[in-house]
Amino acid sequence: MQLTGAQIVIECLKEQGVDTVFGYPGGAILNLYDELYKNQDSIKHYLTSHEQGAAHAADGYARATGKTGVVFATSGPGATNLVTGIATAYMDSIPLVAITCNVGVGLLGKDSFQEIDITGITLPITKHNYIVKDVKDLASAIRKAFAIARKGRPGPVLVDIPKDVTAEKTEFTASENKMVSEPGTVCDSQIATAIKMIHKAKRPMIFVGGGAVLANAGAEVQAFVDKVQAPVCDTLMGKGAFNGADPLYTGMLGMHGTKTANYGVSECDLLVVIGARFSDRVTGNAKKFAKNAKILQIDVDEVEINKNVLVTGQVIGDVKAVLQRLNEKLEPANHDEWIAHIMEYKEKYPLTYNEEVLTGPFIIEEIYRQTEGEAVITTEVGQNQMWAAQFYKYKEPRTFLTSGGLGTMGYGLGASLGAKLGRPDKIVINIAGDGCFRMNMNELATAGRYNIPIIQVVINNHVLGMVRQWQTLFYDKRYSATVLEDNVNFAKLAEALGVKGVTITSKEEFKTAFAEALTLGKPVLLDCQIDADEKVWPMVAPGAAIDEAFDEGDLNAQK
């Protein structure tokens, strides 16, 4: 049958099972939006306040559901406004398809109104991208975009379509071959080497990253830990791949990881790394990382092997498939003495905070208590993000959504909207600092417009908290451009945007307000006023080894 390019895009989205799209219209993409209007019964479009918010919403939808997120934007500034969101997805390996429309083919390269080379701009931050200049190639490009976004290590793909291509007609043949990602083969010799390394270990430690979440390998990780009988730590992106309430869980590893996790990795004789890429925030001084251990790395992407840290052995393949193979062959082990040693660290070095006043850690713990660990938590970046990672126990994958690789301030609110729309059965809470919240707080209007019942918690210290923490510790308290001295009232702002807003100054007020927010069934903002000098502990100084982690008590002891 003969279809226009715009109709082909919509039909291809339906083929891929897409029922939710985020975006913002404009002149170049009007033909697609006209077809969306005609197909609103099968594809729901959510108009955000800004294209960056749309990109983050599509990303949050993908992370929460495991599906591929889809975002639309028009040419020029519409397309460039997606860039930060696309880069965020790229750094964290999130499957995303961005569809932009450009000026007509005859106007390309002529500095036309709202023309931009968006494929050139996004080349370094996408797995692949296309500009489709012939309508005959459009269906193939859309289908390939979804295949590439999901295959192997996931990531974003961009398809740019000139406006005249969306109007032109061609013959379209429907396809029922919805993209399914195959796990691929796993090398037998690599499995054999891994088995030997694990069986020889006396002090094994298991380190879980975001790859385990992306592979939906939570059950396999649990079975592997049961077989190996070893303490477990994770990355920021690996939260929930292993139950944070399990006795063998030692906490997050790295710059703001627990002393238990950092000491365990520094003392183990085998570190089994599952879907993690050895970020600098995890390793600290890479030359001193896991200095007593052989390292076994399991990863779908061969490029990650020996990139940041040299490893002893590797298994390349889908994490879920690899762990299934290992679990079939591994003999149950006993490392009681080693585990007891690590549990002594866990008892000796718990995460603590000032319990007398309202603090970030208290807020996170109270959210955990009232939600019984069943919520989806999104975050912004900085102190709020670290507290959310430290003090909420994530029981399952896809319940902690945060910008890990790029560290995108302004990510969380848009992501929370996508997560709630993708998982309406879940309580969804965005944890923000006041600095991050300012960046995309306009998306509260989106929450209000569609009555998306997310809870926005602002941990408001009236400073750029994490930057100020560094200035306090390493810059002799020269607080350059980090004090937010103004009279912005977030609760009133929320009300103006159609969202209930509450200002909170005490622990009791937070308990009451959050309990009410859980019952309202509509978006709520809680503006929680805390001290400007609350800090995230422990911390590893830049360039130091992770076993040199220090906290406030250590600093006081040095005085």
Where in the chain are the domains?
2-171, 188-348, 360-529
pLDDT at position 178, please?
Answer: 62
Q: How far is 410 from 512, CA to CA, in rounded Å?
A: 27
pLDDT at position 176, please?
Answer: 75
Q: How far is 129 from 120, CA to CA, in rounded Å?
A: 9
Q: How far is 104 from 155, CA to CA, in rounded Å?
A: 28
For residues 462-469, average pLDDT: 98
**Which class for 186: exposed (0-12), middle (13-18), buried (19 or more C-beta within 10 A)?**
middle
Q: How far is 460 from 200, CA to CA, in rounded Å?
A: 50
For residue range 16-33, what is the model confidence (pLDDT) as tens digits?
A: 999 999 999 999 999 999
Architecture in CATH for domain 188-348: 3-Layer(aba) Sandwich (3.40)
Q: What are phi and psi of 88, to 5 degrees?
A: -60, -45
Residue closest to 339 by CA, chosen among 200, 190, 419, 225 = 225
Handedness of CA 176, 177, 181, 184 (dihedral sign): positive
Residues 6+ apart with CB under 8 A from 503: 489, 490, 491, 527, 529
Q: Report percent pLDDT > 70 for the chain.
A: 99
Residue 525 has pLDDT above 70, yes or no: yes
SS3 call for 535: coil
Residues 6+ apart with CB under 8 A from 355: 362
Number of Cβ atoms within 10 Å of the Cβ of 104: 17
pLDDT at position 177, please?
Answer: 65
273 DSSP β-pair partners: 207, 297
Contact status, residue 78 vs residue 100, Cβ threshold 8 Å: yes
Residue closest to 249 by CA, chosen among 219, 215, 207 = 207
For residue range 32-54, what is the model confidence (pLDDT) as tens digits?
A: 999 999 999 999 999 999 999 99
Q: How far is 107 from 103, CA to CA, in rounded Å?
A: 6
DSSP 8-class letter at 539: B
Number of Cβ atoms within 10 Å of the Cβ of 242: 27
Using alpha carbons, list the distances in angstroms from residue 455 to 26, 129, 461, 492, 504.
30, 35, 19, 16, 14
Q: How far is 285 from 281, CA to CA, in rounded Å?
A: 9
Type and span of the H or E element at 368 = helix 360-371
Average pLDDT, the chain: 97
For residue range 321-340, what is the model confidence (pLDDT) as tens digits?
A: 999 999 999 999 999 999 99
Residues 6+ apart with CB under 8 A from 487: none
Question: What is the CATH number that goes with domain 360-529?
Answer: 3.40.50.970
pLDDT at position 481, please?
Answer: 97
**Which class for 530: exposed (0-12), middle (13-18), buried (19 or more C-beta within 10 A)?**
buried
Q: Report percent pLDDT > 90 for the chain.
A: 97
Residue 183 has pLDDT above 80, yes or no: no
| Same topology between domain 2-171 and domain 188-348 | yes
For residue range 358-389, what is the model confidence (pLDDT) as tens digits?
A: 999 999 999 999 999 999 999 999 999 999 99
For residue range 139-172, what is the model confidence (pLDDT) as tens digits?
A: 999 999 999 999 999 999 999 999 999 999 999 9
pLDDT at position 79, please?
Answer: 98
Residue 454 has pLDDT above 70, yes or no: yes
Question: What is the CATH number that goes with domain 2-171?
Answer: 3.40.50.970
Residue closest to 322 by CA, chosen among 212, 180, 243, 207 = 212
Q: What are phi and psi of 483, to 5 degrees?
A: -95, 120
Residue 184 has pLDDT above 80, yes or no: no
| Catalytic center residues | 51, 113-114, 163, 466
For residues 532-540, average pLDDT: 98
Q: How far is 376 from 429, CA to CA, in rounded Å?
A: 6
For residue range 475-504, what is the model confidence (pLDDT) as tens digits?
A: 999 999 999 988 999 999 999 999 999 999
